[in-house]
Amino acid sequence: MAKKQHDTPLLDELEEGRWPSFVSGLKSLATDEDKPYAGMMTDLLGQLEHSYETRLGYWKGGTVSVYGYGGGVIPRFSEVAEEYPESKEFHTLRVQPPAGMHYSTDFLRQICDVWEKHGSGLIALHGQSGDIMFQGCTTENVQKAFDDLNEIGLDLGGAGPALRTSVSCVGHARCEQSCYDEVRAHRTTINAFLDEMHRPALPYKFKFKFSGCPNDCSNAIHRADFAVIGTWRDEMKVDQEEVKKYVAEAGRKYTIDNVITRCPTNALSLNDDDTLDVDNQSCVRCMHCLNVMNKALSPGDERGATILMGGKRSLKIGDQIGTVIIPFFPLETDEDFERLEELGETVIDFFAENALEHERVGETIDRIGMTNFLEGIGVEIDPNMISHPRTNSYVRTDDWDEEAAKWEKRKAEKASAKVAAE
């Protein structure tokens, strides 16, 4: 027989809106008489209601882990275990999702079976960290759950001062805007630094995120210390017949009001014969026109990625979006992916040696200055790091032409040295 349910008048209110409620989900787990975790979920609801009444949280941390790992499990012990004994331990296992978050239904059933056997049945796809969050497990069952998840090919993610679980968008498997193989970049990088994830030894967290195009579906620019965002450096491709079809279906006024005038840099112009001109020099890759006219417009042929560093949420100096470190990084050949791995290693080493405790790399850059950071990781300053450097009031432009000439010369020397080496 199901355990008697606690009264939850405050939580009940959250079931009244138009959208599916997490409270209904928790209640369905709590009232499923056949399941061993029903009691745990019943007391969890009781504790949550108590938290809403008193406006206090009652979870405290501790140390829970699995053999050989220093992170990946978030311990949660209840401070009100006397009143709610069955949810006195409610740990979370952070588990890395497959790159691109591609699952088969069979695989999803397998992970549900594991969690119904060892945990609470409650799984979040996916947490803010990018992990699959297996929530609600006793200390005794953590190792058993991990062993079974490991058996079907999953591994714990990161927690604490460590390399964190990485995220990549669904990518070129299903998206026509993709500019590089995100899944390969994700796997290459994380596999190379897995030790940093499982045995926390960094000053603070470090995140890689991979988005295939500037739509940035993995939120890399504002959440990742090391963001790899797909782009193209030639001209966007325009299929004028498809443009005409779009205009014929949507109408000239609609096209002008919703595509042309919404370009943030006025780079688009619709001709009298319903063809489209694109001023590619002015395009800032906001992706609006490509998203709206997705049959007519697509990224150019010369594709790769822009690498940005230092994105993060608040912490010490407020939210930051990543700064462009490498304007265009080709990602096609084996050597390109090796170079990406090498760059990741250099940046992680620099971060490990130079960051203060509890400091993200964006804050390190802010503290020591971008020039020192670039010197530290061995990246040369490139005018292309800034869009329109000549119109940016923060960029010194005296002697600019001479400096630009020196830069062009260095670039040419490097290219000829590379050819000579080959």
For residues 251 and 264, which CB has a smaller minimum distance to ligand SF4 in the complex? 264
For residues 142 and 268, which CB has a smaller minimum distance to ligand SF4 in the complex? 268
- Min dist. Cβ of residue 308 to ligand SF4 (A): 18
For residues 221 and 290, which CB has a smaller minimum distance to ligand SF4 in the complex? 290
Q: Provide the binding-site residues for ligand SF4, judged by CB under 6 A.
A: 263-265, 267-268, 278, 283-290
- Min dist. Cβ of residue 232 to ligand SF4 (A): 11
Closest to 37 measured CA to CA, from 141, 131, 128, 190: 141
Annotate 141-176 with b (16+ C-beta within 10 A) or e (fewer).
bbbbbbebbeeeebbbbbbebbbbbbbbbbbbeebe
Sign of the C-alpha dihedral computed for residues 132, 135, 139 and 142 taken in this order? negative
- Residue 325: burial class (beta carbons within 10 Å; 0-12, 13-18, 19+): buried
For residues 287 and 370, which CB has a smaller minimum distance to ligand SF4 in the complex? 287
On the CB side of 49, CA atoms within 13 Å amount to 20
- Min dist. Cβ of residue 299 to ligand SF4 (A): 9
Tokens of 99: 């790159």
- Min dist. Cβ of residue 277 to ligand SF4 (A): 10
For residues 252 and 414, which CB has a smaller minimum distance to ligand SF4 in the complex? 252
- Min dist. Cβ of residue 265 to ligand SF4 (A): 5
| Strands, E assignment, 241-361 | 268-270, 276-278, 297-298, 303-309, 323-329
- Min dist. Cβ of residue 291 to ligand SF4 (A): 8
| Strands, E assignment, 69-154 | 73-74, 77-78, 92-95, 122-125, 132-135
Q: Are 203 and 209 within 8 A, CB to CB?
A: no
For residues 108 and 284, which CB has a smaller minimum distance to ligand SF4 in the complex? 284
